[in-house]
Structure 1
C-alpha cells in the first residue's frame, strides 16, 4: 500500500507542476501551495483505498471535504481519485 500511495503522490505532484491550475480564490483554509489540479488528497486516499477496499468511504469523504473547504474544484478531486486508483493499479501489477 505504501508504494501505491507514494507513487500516486509523486505522479500527482508532477501533474500539478505541469498543469499549474490555481486553487479557488475563496478557499476556507490556508494551503501549502496554490496549485489545485489534481487533488493530492484524493489521489493518495484513493490509492490507499485501492489497496484496502474498506477505506473507500474514508477516501470519498476526504475528497469531498476538499471541495467543501473550497480548496479544490470538483474536477480536481475526480482527477485525483482516478489518478490515485490508476497508479495504485499499475503499482500492484509491478
Structure 2
C-alpha cells in the first residue's frame, strides 16, 4: 500500500482517537452500517410508516441493498487487503480481509443520497463524510477505499432513482 495512504490513516488516528467520543461513535457507526443492516431497516420502516412515499422508501431500500452487493462483488474482484501496518490501530473486527471499496461508505452514501431526496433536505448528506471518516478512524479502510465507496454509492442511488422515476 502507498506510504501516503498509511500516513493519512496514522494522522487521522493521531488527531482523532484521543477525543473521548470518537472511538465509541465510530464503533457504533460500524455496527449500524454492517451489511447495510441499519439502512435496510430504515428503508423498511419508511415503507411501512410512510404510505405516501412508500415507493421512494422502497427505492432507498433497493439502493442500500444494491450498493452493498456491488461493493462486495468489487471487493472480491479487486482483492485489496485491509490496512495492516504496525502504525495503524485496528478498532473493530471485520467480516472479511478485503478493503476496496468500503461497503460502509458505499451503502451509507446510497442511503443518504436517497434520504436527501425523500426529505428534500441536504442534511442527510452530512452522514456520508462522517461514515467515511469513521472507517479510517477505525483503521479498516484506506482513503481511496472510502472515496471509491462514496462514488459507487452515489452512482447506485442515482441509478435506482432513475429506475424509480421511469417505472412510476
TM-score (norm 1): 0.94
Separation in 1, partners of 2:92, 2:114: 30
Separation in 2, partners of 1:72, 1:24: 6
Aligned residues: 94
- The equivalences for 1:29-48 within 5 A come to 29-48=92-111
Q: RMSD over aligned Cα, in angstroms?
A: 1.0
TM-score (norm 2): 0.54
- SS where residue 81 of structure 2 aligns? coil
Separation in 1, partners of 2:108, 2:76: 20
**Of residues 128, 135, 140 in structure 2, which corresponds to 1:71?**
140
Name the structure where helix makes up a greater proportion of residues: 2
Answering whether residue 77 of structure 2 is matched by residue 14 of structure 1, we say no
Structure possessing the higher radius of gyration over alpha carbons: 2
Q: Deviations over 1:13-69 (max 9, x none)?
A: 110000000000142322111000000000000001111122211221011110111
Structure 1: unaligned runs, 5 residues or longer: none
Structure 2: unaligned runs, 5 residues or longer: 1-59, 117-122, 164-168
- SS where residue 52 of structure 1 aligns? helix
Structure 1 outlier segments of 4+, above 4 Å: none
**Of residues 31, 55, 60 in structure 1, which corresponds to 2:124?**
55
